[in-house]
Amino acid sequence: MKLSGLVSLAITFSSALAYKVHNVTIGQDGLTFTPDSLTAAKGDYVTFYFDFATHGVAQAGFNTPCTPLQDATGEVGFFSGLIAATVSDTPTFTILVNSSDPIWFYCPEAYHCQSGMVGVINPPKNQTVDDWADASTHASVNKSPSEITGNITVGATSSLSSSSLSTTIQSSKTAATFAASSTATTAATATHSGAASTKQISHSFIIAGVAFGGYMMLL
């Protein structure tokens, strides 16, 4: 009974943490997000890597390209700030995908948005990233949001411990509403490749290990 209880506890935690972290590189090929269109499940994360030059990533609405989401709808979208990447430093910015609705984003630096530096998470069937880029071409201004919003820490940690785990859960709750509170984006950097699957497995094993250790102490 004790064992089954602990095992089910471990399984519950593991399934709750079965998210993916999707990586998007910024500036790798010029004025680009790579990839510029991706599909993510609710509860997944998207980590933007600032690879080269000065760029930003901000959320907009499809009908108001190159404009902060808040200006168009009142809803606060995410914004990384304008970040200058260097050869030795690849800052990151991570958002939580908090619904299955389309998330349209753009780079508010200079005229990057009008030049096609835009992207989308979960595009609807009738609106592609090419449609979004076309609409952005005609925007009269490229406006930057006034505040950095929406960053969370999950994509910026390269290793996990029980303390970082609780921090992650706490901060994702905060980010679910895209609250105005934001942590500095440039602190830690993780390696690009394989981040998603590694983290997911690490979480499960850490929790299973803790649960099993607790069971052994009860014997």
Distances (CA, A) of 92 to 65, 178, 207: 23, 17, 26
Nearer to Cu ion, 65 or 168 (CB): 65
Please report, as ranges, the residues that interact with Cu ion according to CB under 5 A. Answer: 55, 107, 109, 112, 117
Task: Characterize 1-23 residue by residue with b for buried, 16 or more Cβ atoms within 10 angstroms of its Cβ, and e for exposed.
Answer: eeeeebeebbeebbeebebbbbb
Nearer to Cu ion, 6 or 31 (CB): 31
Nearer to Cu ion, 44 or 51 (CB): 51
Q: How many angstroms separate the CA atoms of 11 and 45, rounded?
A: 21
In the complex, minimum distance from the CB of residue 104 to Cu ion, in angstroms, rounded to a whole number: 15
Nearer to Cu ion, 96 or 117 (CB): 117
CA 79 to chain centre: 11
Burial environment of residue 163 by CB neighbours within 10 A (0 to 12, 13 to 18, 19 or more) = exposed
CA 53 to chain centre: 20
In the complex, minimum distance from the CB of residue 186 to Cu ion, in angstroms, rounded to a whole number: 16
In the complex, minimum distance from the CB of residue 11 to Cu ion, in angstroms, rounded to a whole number: 43
- SS3 for 18-34 is CCCEEEEEECCCCCCEE
Q: How many angstroms separate the CA atoms of 90 and 25, rounded?
A: 10
In the complex, minimum distance from the CB of residue 73 to Cu ion, in angstroms, rounded to a whole number: 23
Name the residue type at position 49: Y
Distances (CA, A) of 23 to 19, 40, 54, 68, 186: 13, 11, 18, 22, 16
In the complex, minimum distance from the CB of residue 31 to Cu ion, in angstroms, rounded to a whole number: 6
In the complex, minimum distance from the CB of residue 107 to Cu ion, in angstroms, rounded to a whole number: 3
Read off φ and ψ for residue 197, nearest 5 degrees.
-65, -35
Nearer to Cu ion, 112 or 199 (CB): 112
Nearer to Cu ion, 19 or 104 (CB): 104
